[in-house]
Structure 1
Amino acid sequence: MLKRSASTRSVPTIRPLRRRATGLAMAGTVFALAASVPATAAADRAPAAPAPTAAAGPVSVLKYTAQERRQALAYWTPARMKAVGKSVDLGPTGPLAKPWRGTTLKTVGRLFFVNASGADTWCTATAVKSANRSAVLTAAHCVRRGSSPANTNISMVFVPGYHKGKAPYGAFAVRQAVTPRAWQEDSANDMSALTVDAGENGKKLTSVVGGQAVAFNRPVGGTISSFGYSATRPQLGEQLLRCVGTAKKEHGTQFIPCDMSGGSSGGPWLADFNAATGKGVVVSVNSSLDSLTPTKMYGEVWGATAKKVYDRAQKV
């Protein structure tokens, strides 16, 4: 991976977006936004990374202990959540991405964590309908580095409906993170499903904020609304942005016209989106931005493996 740095502060990394069907490689910006906290300081405060647990088949599972989850909630104070994006500026917002000013999207929020380098950071994630009422969808690179099984993120907390420093529905600690094994071993299939604890009042996630519908094996096409907490100014991750466009196939993945940047990783692609109700169907998540054409946002085409990832998270 290529990395640009300023002093001890982390900035977004660059990874190749691999095209397995054709053997082509295309440079793309990874959206797991690194933080404003120096890596060494963050490492001193955060709990140790959990060991990956063995799992047969096409999925890989990370589990966080009860103590690690308590520490994560204590670590991500309101002040830390607000501070993490202050020193990161990835340029002006738009013109394709625009602040979302419609009905409150309670299901979409910021996913805060300490990355494998020890820096505070965030992605975007979405509460979805699930058997356990506790499942959240995001990108795999928001959970662990691709092709690097030992490099996993820690202190993960989902804050639905986050807006300008406020967490109106509370924070939910992540107790399990599921990714395709292909991501862990070969940086392929960039999606993840998380299972979160109940909130402070003992209520499960979707009992509090509801859940978006999810679809797999859906044909690519149609109008997509993509959402994310991009680190572009003036929002700097504090406000939800939206892109709208028609999904098209390309090299085994799909893309929409969008220029959101770091921090929007894992944000939902909502088909059949109803702006009045804030409801739609999640068919993919923000994965990467083509650095040569930074108005093309890519997302995986979800098939059988993505469904198995989701099923593993929703049944725990």
Structure 2
Amino acid sequence: MKRIFLPAGGAILATGLLAAGLSGTAQAARDIASDPMARNAGDAASIATFWWKSNGAALRQASAYYWDSKEVKKLVSKGGYTPDGNPGMVAPTGNSTSTGKAQNVNIPRTIGKVFFLDASGRPRWCSATSIQGNYKNLVATAGHCVYDTDGNADTMSKWVFVPGYYQGKTPWGIYVGKQAFTHYDFDVYEDYDRDYAFVTVYNGIRFTGVKQVDGRDYDRFVGPKFGGRYILLSEDAGRLGDNVGGQGLAYNQPTGKIVRTFGYPYAPHPDGSKPYTGVTPKNCYGKTSAKTVGAPDKKIEEHVALKCPVTPGYDGGPWLLNYSNAKRLGYVNGVTSTFNDQDGNDRVDYISSPYFDGETAAVYNAAKNTASGKIVGPNGELLK
């Protein structure tokens, strides 16, 4: 597939027609790669049905997407990092609040799992979050949870986001990916310094049951049908951001700041111990490393690290700066990319994230300005 490269404003540039005076815009365009996922509402409805059918069997059968846990390695200090511009922040949205003086960490409503089929066709999942966008339709996760690095192909197939997912339950509906935005260097070169992605999703779809109808209504129905003149009923669940809110974005921030991270750890440690089930989200809290770190096997030179003993499955989960436990909102300042064993005891003790800079913001800006649309019409019909 030929990818479309976008400038930060979102307009498509025709390569080969760029004048010399547009060289700066061309450079901006080269930073951003955009890949289509579900091309229309009909495709999106089919994908959502795949995950929901048989009472969410595919969702429940999915396993965490991760590499061999023996590949966990040690990060190497690379010195400090110089931001490529002024610090910036995009405010979060949402109205989820809690009262009282809670001692426990309140899990954000924005947190959930992204589900997809890997290169072998197996159902897998990563962690992710809803993030603020102009159309309230945006998900932030790791690039390797969107782009198929194993198969060296395009985006993962049948990609959906389920906020608040719990053992087959989809409390706010299923949100099918429409368009993936990644950094060109990750999409083409698999450079893990750019291991982040922003994905626009269609309005959520909620399946409300199965109904037997007469022959005429069965023939006219647009949507999943079954033998015996049964049809699958559905409704529009609305926009992602309207339902669960959206975290903010922070970039070009100093390292050494406190963040709270969230995700669904699942895989075993390198020594084989498996303390996590992947069923419920976990969190870590602490200061990011004051120095950037690297891992040559993944072309990493500018990651930030956090002491956090979680395991894969946590991939793609957000690193939230200035997290408010009362509002359950903060600013995405990273996403979990790698898992590392710094003390050599065969257990993960550090995770790392790409440093979010101005190029990250450019990818985000292209995604946040992109609309998606609905899957279900006003009368419950599936749109084509």
Q: Do both proteins adopt the same fold according to a TM-score greater than 0.5, normalized to the shorter chain?
A: yes
- Partner residue, 1:81: 59
Amino acid of the residue matched to residue 285 of structure 2? V
Alignment of 1:109-188 (within 5 A): 109-146=112-149, 150-188=153-191
Task: Measure how far apart 1:110 and its partner are.
Answer: 0.3
Q: Separation in 2 of the partners of 1:132 and 1:167?
A: 21
Could you tell me which runs of 5 or more consecutive residues in structure 2 were left unpaired when the two chains were aligned. 6-28, 70-102, 206-235, 268-273, 294-301, 371-384
Task: Measure how far apart 1:244 and its partner are.
Answer: 1.2
Identical-residue share of aligned pairs (%) = 28
The CA deviation string for residues 262-296 of structure 1, in whole angstroms up to 9 with x for no partner, is: 21111000111122221111100000012455211
- Partner residue, 1:70: 45
- Residue 216 of structure 1, aligned match among 215, 229, 251: 251
Task: Measure how far apart 1:305 and its partner are.
Answer: 1.5
Secondary structure, counterpart of 1:158 in structure 2: strand
Secondary structure, counterpart of 2:204 in structure 1: coil
TM-score, normalization by structure 1: 0.75
- Partner residue, 1:250: 292
Amino acid of the residue matched to residue 53 of structure 1? R
Contact 2:265/2:311 (8 A) holds in 1: yes
Deviates more, 1:293-302 or 1:173-182: 293-302
Contact 1:126/1:136 (8 A) holds in 2: yes
Structure 1 position 59 matched with structure 2 position 18: no
- Structure possessing the higher radius of gyration over alpha carbons: 2
Amino acid of the residue matched to residue 300 of structure 1? P
- Partner residue, 2:278: 237
Could you tell me which runs of 5 or more consecutive residues in structure 1 were left unpaired when the two chains were aligned. 1-50, 92-99
- Residue 269 of structure 1, aligned match among 319, 329, 337: 319
Q: Separation in 2 of the partners of 1:85 and 1:53?
A: 29
- Partner residue, 2:201: 196
Secondary structure, counterpart of 1:283 in structure 2: strand
Task: Measure how far apart 1:148 and its partner are.
Answer: 7.1
Secondary structure, counterpart of 2:30 in structure 1: coil
Task: Measure how far apart 1:174 and its partner are.
Answer: 0.4
- Partner residue, 2:227: none
Query: Which structure would you say has the larger RCO, counting Cα contacts within 8 Å and 6 or more residues apart?
Result: 2
Moved segments of 4+, more than 6 Å = none
- Residue 260 of structure 1, aligned match among 304, 310, 313: 310
Amino acid of the residue matched to residue 219 of structure 1? P
Contact 2:137/2:200 (8 A) holds in 1: yes
Contact 2:311/2:339 (8 A) holds in 1: yes
Q: Separation in 2 of the partners of 1:301 and 1:111?
A: 22
The alignment of Structure 1 onto Structure 2 pairs a total of residues equal to: 256
Task: Measure how far apart 1:224 and its partner are.
Answer: 1.2
TM-score, normalization by structure 2: 0.62
Q: 1:306 to 1:147 in 2, by over 3 A?
A: farther
- Partner residue, 1:47: none
Q: Separation in 2 of the partners of 1:104 and 1:244?
A: 13
Task: Measure how far apart 1:76 and its partner are.
Answer: 1.1
- Partner residue, 1:227: 262
- Residue 305 of structure 1, aligned match among 350, 353, 359: 359
Contact 1:147/1:186 (8 A) holds in 2: no
Q: 1:270 to 1:229 in 2, by over 3 A?
A: same
The CA deviation string for residues 211-260 of structure 1, in whole angstroms up to 9 with x for no partner, is: 11111111112211111111155652211011111101323210001122
Task: Measure how far apart 1:149 and its partner are.
Answer: 5.2
Q: Separation in 2 of the partners of 1:209 and 1:191?
A: 21
Contact 2:62/2:122 (8 A) holds in 1: no
The CA deviation string for residues 38-79 of structure 1, in whole angstroms up to 9 with x for no partner, is: xxxxxxxxxxxxx45321421111112124322221111222
Deviates more, 1:173-182 or 1:242-251: 242-251
Task: Measure how far apart 1:84 and its partner are.
Answer: 1.7
Q: Separation in 2 of the partners of 1:110 and 1:222?
A: 26
Contact 2:314/2:336 (8 A) holds in 1: yes
Q: Separation in 1 of the partners of 2:279 and 2:107?
A: 14
- Partner residue, 1:44: none
Q: 1:182 to 1:260 in 2, by over 3 A?
A: same
- Residue 330 of structure 2, aligned match among 280, 298, 304: 280
Q: Separation in 2 of the partners of 1:151 and 1:263?
A: 21
Amino acid of the residue matched to residue 195 of structure 1? T
Amino acid of the residue matched to residue 368 of structure 2? Q
- Residue 205 of structure 1, aligned match among 226, 232, 240: 240
